[in-house]
Structure 1
Amino acid sequence: MSRTTQGWIFGFLGMLVFSGSLPATRLAMTGFDPVFLTVARVVLAAGVALCLLLGTRQSLPSRRDYVSLLIVSLGTVVGFPLLTALALQFITSAHSLVFIGLLPLSTAIFGVLRGGERLRPVFWLFSGLGSALICGYALRNGVQGAIRGDLLMLAAIVVCGLGYAEGATLSRKIGGWQVICWALVVALPLMLVLLVFTMPDDLQNIGRASWWSLGYVAVFSSLIGFLLWYRGLALGGIGAVGQLQLLQPFFGMVLAAAVLSETVDPAMVMITVAVIACVFGAKRFAKPAR
């Protein structure tokens, strides 16, 4: 099996894990403050990551790698979870998923800026078309949200795209799972301090669903998903494999319908087929431009 094929397989599995992040965050916020939720998920994930690093006796990153790890930490470990949690105070999970359709484009752009990738013009055509289809689908349903929530989601997409590209570039040097583990550990000291100040006064009245959702976003969204995703980006290319996240809004909507009882529009099936075509089109023309 070629490296590119492996990259797409790992990327697809990572995308599936991420699909549950926003619905799980929305559910967790029925019991937790968004800031505490972000801090708690990082602390829990970092604890597991630290055990993995110590258990496998990983060497410390070099000094020059810490700048990249800080970017990954600020972008994907802390920035994206915090900004999306804050946004979900003002908009629905369905509306927030619209912006995830813009994430592949953001990742590809930073893949060029930070990873040095060169992609064909046709690739950008398919990437832009896929993003436009997702946004058009949401607008067709008349989804409306507060401008504050929209701006927070846009900021989340920018920092996440940067974190994805930076992490994928660094993973070629120190390994995909090592990148996210070290990025979590870098954030741990500050998160432990914040945990003390953001801890809810009464934990006993928080529902079981909120606790399970916190567990999901901590273990799966903040760690396991990234282990798969960064591996996929490193093997298959940042811009190419990143297009798989064009499918994430639709998997997320299915989960939102099942978990949050949100309605799934039948037209979603037709749009999904069109988006899949864009993903394969982007894959076909994802080879570096000469």
Structure 2
Amino acid sequence: MTAQNSATHPRTIAVAGSHRPAPIPRIVARTATRRGTLLAGLGVTAFSLTFPGTVWGLDSFGPWSLVAVRSVLAAALAGAFLLALRVPLPARAHWAGLAVVAAGVVVGFPMLTTLALQTSTTSHAAVVVGLLPLTTAAFSAVRTGARPSRTFWAAAVAGAVVVLGFTLRESGGALSAGDAYLFGALVVCAAGYTEGGRLAREMPGWQVIGWALVLCLPLTLAGAAVGLAYEPVHLTAKGLAGLVWVAAGSTFFGLYVWYRGMAEIGAARASQLQLAQPLLTLVWSVALLGEHLSPAAPLAAVGVLVCIAVTQRART
């Protein structure tokens, strides 16, 4: 083949003296998978700091005030981006899905987990969050019709069992008074993640969470006014840092990259990356909250990483 012919056939490459079609679709798919995995991983990292940030925020605010104010600040940030970029209003068909995201991710999960952290330790709260990937995968299968393989489900269940066993061992196996809040948070968050992942295939992920935050703004503004009026506020540097993180880091940035990642690799597969979230939260708890991490943590981390590797390779 001449140089001229090669130039007119960009989809061919020379391999050992012969020409083979370049697997461009496969290369694009692999690139998208890697990008989606990276974005979802950044989201998990941001989420892993949510509980420590919430504990810091509770140093200055009551639970209702903290959740409402963080949502107001996140909505202001999202609204500024939406206005600056002149993003048009979502289509009418998208508003029902945005309402599910708002109810589950913007209001339900933050409120229920913040209430739980009034009586539960960070490590104990992490055990239920460790079950979130499996819950999200189940919601996704029902909502989108996806059918992950048996290998996928086996690895997902194994990972959840590892996280559950490790964290229950760390907390002495006793159930806290906040467990009802935590299990409720699991359900509403899984629903919000699944619906948000579906919407992120039709609009940019940051717009999904942005419009969900704006949709909740009237409710969160009212909640902030009532909460700040009835709950004591003691401003400290740690409390303000926690508030800023849970508002800008967890609620806006974390959900932005998370939904983009889910749009690339699918909700069920992306959700399995969250198996690492409880262990990351324990690391931050040691570094930021001074909690003790037992020698069993590395073993649990290896088990979780193995399960994540299996789920990422399993066919969906």
Q: TM-score range by the shorter chain?
A: over 0.9
Deviation digits for residues 148-202 of structure 1, max 9, x if unmatched?
3011101101111110010000110012111000000000011111211111579
Structure 1 match to 2:264:
235
Structure 2 match to 1:124:
153
Match of 2:191 among 145, 162, 168: 162
Shift in alpha-carbon separation, 1:47–1:280, aligned structure 2, 3 A: same
1:147 shift after superposition: 4.3
Q: TM-score, normalised by structure 1?
A: 0.95
Question: What is the distance in 2 between the residues matched to 1:238 and 1:202?
Answer: 38
Q: TM-score, normalised by structure 2?
A: 0.88
Counterpart contact for 1:95–1:143, Cα < 8 Å? no
Counterpart contact for 1:8–1:241, Cα < 8 Å? yes
Match of 2:87 among 19, 34, 58: 58
Question: What is the distance in 2 between the residues matched to 1:227 and 1:115?
Answer: 21
Please give the secondary structure, in 2, of the residue aligned with 1:90: coil
Consecutive unaligned residues in structure 2, runs of 5 or more? 1-29
Which runs of structure 2 are paired with 1:249-260 in the superposition (5 Å)?
A: 249-260=278-289
1:27 shift after superposition: 1.8
Computing the radius of gyration from Cα coordinates, the structure with the larger value is 2
Question: What is the distance in 1 between the residues matched to 2:158 and 2:241?
Answer: 36
1:31 shift after superposition: 2.0
Counterpart contact for 1:95–1:144, Cα < 8 Å? no
1:92 shift after superposition: 0.5
1:206 shift after superposition: 2.2
Counterpart contact for 2:61–2:231, Cα < 8 Å? no
Matched, 1:190 2:181: no
The total of aligned residue pairs comes to 287
1:274 shift after superposition: 1.0
Q: What amino acid maps onto 1:214 in structure 2?
A: L
Match of 1:153 among 163, 166, 182: 182
Counterpart contact for 1:84–1:156, Cα < 8 Å? yes
Percent pairwise identity: 38
State which drifts further: 53-62 or 195-204: 195-204
Consecutive unaligned residues in structure 1, runs of 5 or more? none
Please give the secondary structure, in 2, of the residue aligned with 1:199: helix
- Root-mean-square deviation (CA, aligned residues, Å) is 1.5
Deviation digits for residues 68-90 of structure 1, max 9, x if unmatched?
00000000011000000000111
Counterpart contact for 1:171–1:230, Cα < 8 Å? yes
